[in-house]
A and B are shown apart, each in its own frame.
Chain A
Amino acid sequence: MDIQSCVTIINEWDIVAARQLGRNVAKELGFGTVDQARITTAISELARNIYLYAGKGQICIDKLNENGKVGLRINAADSGPGISEIRQVMEDGYSTSGGLGAGLPGVKRLMDQFDIDSSPGNGTKIIATKWLR
């Protein structure tokens, strides 16, 4: 892991800024257009979750280089209300806001690795990684 850059999410336009950053980094690392779209979409989902449920948070993009494997890691962190039923939100079609409920399970499918850490009152941390093949 080396360079990290972050975007603070406060309003809807920050979502655009976050995914622009993600797209640029993905392009730099040599991801193809499909993976670029996957990464930007994942960032868009995570950033929108922060905006919708926590109100404020941060999206950080890391460039990874582990044993010659190049990758991109998205860190999404907020100190919002947290999630009590993680199993439930990872199910397709579950939404508390009347949305499609495809966000988090979708991100998991869009990326190669996905970790979520959240409990009520302690905010939410999500780390998602995509490796360059």
Chain B
Amino acid sequence: MNKAISNYIETNQQRILSEWIDITRSTAEDRVLRLVSDQVFVGTSKEFIDLIISNIKDSNEEFESKLSDFAEKVVRLGWPLNFVTKGLHTFAQIVFEEMKKEGIVNQENQMELVYEFDNWVTPMNNEIVSVYSRTWERTVSLQKIALQELSAPLIPVFDGITVMPLVGTIDTERAKQIMENLLNGAAKHRSEVVLIDITGVPVVDTMVAHHIIQAADAVRLIGAKCMLVGIRPEIAQTIVNLGINLNQFTTKNTLKKGIEAALEITNRKIVEMEGEK
């Protein structure tokens, strides 16, 4: 790191910061500014400048831990990456312009200083991008795991009766899981009737229907009966329009009716107690 640059930044820290905030605010997209309050914006900006300065002063390790903290925070705030990298670029530009104005940069050392600047900014830029993408990757993979956990639970409700409530979009990956959980669970709980509840499935297209039909066929093979419940009126209409044949299923519009029917199949029913208040 060039001594001239670092000295200049350190002595003029305050001025550079306020100028940086002005420029950034005027050029930033509305989306970014709408996302955060003024206070948070100024606070985070200060932190960002501190970070850049820490790159000059502190050891590498310290800088890296600060940077990853910062990246995490920015990801949480929802600031776009290009906003941060642009911010860094703006910072370097301000410093360079100011130094030029004050005559620290002149014709002779210009090339050399540009080179120095590049050497200072580029690694920092790369580091920010890599930390940023790592943080995102982690967030995405955590969400994926979270999604998988709630993807296809099988719930035993009575002896021989189990329910699989499906919520959300069904893709190939999930369809596979549904099939697996359904078969394993049905065998484990010795289910006679398995109810698949699709109240929470927004769209039933031919692929989803196909997967459900396959799952039901497989359940039948292991000796249980499959019932499709939670068919909303609009879904019923689209299924008819699509020409999907669900004749081999017992279908009900609510889980409640499905459970009543399932109890009937297993020769039981729910009765109200008499003689109680």
- Residue numbers of A with Cβ under 8 A of B are 12-13, 15-16, 19, 33-34, 36-38, 40-41, 44-45, 48, 92, 99-103, 105-106, 109-110
Asked if A45 and B206 make an inter-chain contact with CB atoms under 8 angstroms apart, the answer reads yes
Given A33-B234, A37-B234, A37-B235, verify A100-B241 contact (CB < 8 Å). no
Asked if B203 and A106 make an inter-chain contact with CB atoms under 8 angstroms apart, the answer reads no
Distance in Å from the Cβ of B232 to the closest Cβ of chain A? 8
Distance in Å from the Cβ of B168 to the closest Cβ of chain A? 9
Asked if A38 and B241 make an inter-chain contact with CB atoms under 8 angstroms apart, the answer reads yes
Q: A101 vs B215: C-alpha distance in the bound complex, in angstroms?
A: 18
Q: Which residues of B contact A110 (CB under 8 A)?
A: 238, 241-242
- Residue numbers of B with Cβ under 8 A of A are 169, 171-173, 202-207, 209-210, 213, 233-235, 237-238, 241-244
Q: A99 vs B204: C-alpha distance in the bound complex, in angstroms?
A: 14
Asked if A109 and B241 make an inter-chain contact with CB atoms under 8 angstroms apart, the answer reads yes
Asked if B210 and A106 make an inter-chain contact with CB atoms under 8 angstroms apart, the answer reads no
Distance in Å from the Cβ of B245 to the closest Cβ of chain A? 8
Pairs of residues from A and B, 4 with the lowest C-beta to C-beta distance, nearest first: A106-B242, A37-B234, A44-B205, A34-B234
Given A33-B234, A34-B237, A38-B237, verify A99-B207 contact (CB < 8 Å). yes
Q: List 7 A-B contacts (CB under 8 A).
A: A12-B173, A34-B233, A44-B207, A100-B209, A106-B241, A106-B244, A109-B241
Distance in Å from the Cβ of A63 to the closest Cβ of chain B? 21
Q: A32 vs B18: C-alpha distance in the bound complex, in angstroms?
A: 53
Asked if B206 and A106 make an inter-chain contact with CB atoms under 8 angstroms apart, the answer reads yes
Distance in Å from the Cβ of B137 to the closest Cβ of chain A? 16
Given A33-B234, A36-B234, A38-B237, verify A109-B243 contact (CB < 8 Å). yes
Given A48-B205, A99-B207, verify A41-B172 contact (CB < 8 Å). no
Q: Which residues of B contact A19 (CB under 8 A)?
A: 203
Q: A45 vs B171: C-alpha distance in the bound complex, in angstroms?
A: 13
Q: A131 vs B67: C-alpha distance in the bound complex, in angstroms?
A: 54
Distance in Å from the Cβ of A104 to the closest Cβ of chain B? 10
Q: A87 vs B39: C-alpha distance in the bound complex, in angstroms?
A: 64
Q: Which residues of A contact B233 (CB under 8 A)?
A: 34
Q: Which residues of B contact A16 (CB under 8 A)?
A: 169
Given A33-B234, A37-B238, A110-B238, verify A105-B207 contact (CB < 8 Å). no
Q: A34-B238, A37-B203, A37-B237 are in contact. List 16 more A-B contacts (CB 8 A).
A: A12-B171, A16-B169, A33-B234, A38-B237, A38-B241, A40-B202, A41-B238, A44-B207, A45-B206, A48-B205, A92-B243, A100-B206, A100-B244, A102-B206, A106-B242, A109-B243
* Nearest-neighbor residue (CB-CB) of A110 within chain B: B241
Asked if B203 and A102 make an inter-chain contact with CB atoms under 8 angstroms apart, the answer reads no
Q: Which residues of A contact B209 (CB under 8 A)?
A: 100, 102
Q: Which residues of B contact A105 (CB under 8 A)?
A: 243
Asked if A103 and B234 make an inter-chain contact with CB atoms under 8 angstroms apart, the answer reads no
Q: Which residues of A contact B172 (CB under 8 A)?
A: 12
Asked if A41 and B171 make an inter-chain contact with CB atoms under 8 angstroms apart, the answer reads no
Q: Which residues of A contact B241 (CB under 8 A)?
A: 38, 41, 106, 109-110
Choice from A41, A101, A109 contacting B205 with Cβ under 8 Å: A41
* Nearest-neighbor residue (CB-CB) of A111 within chain B: B241
Q: Which residues of B contact A34 (CB under 8 A)?
A: 233-234, 237-238
* Nearest-neighbor residue (CB-CB) of A40 within chain B: B203
* Nearest-neighbor residue (CB-CB) of B168 within chain A: A16
Choice from A36, A37, A40, A48 contacting B207 with Cβ under 8 Å: A48
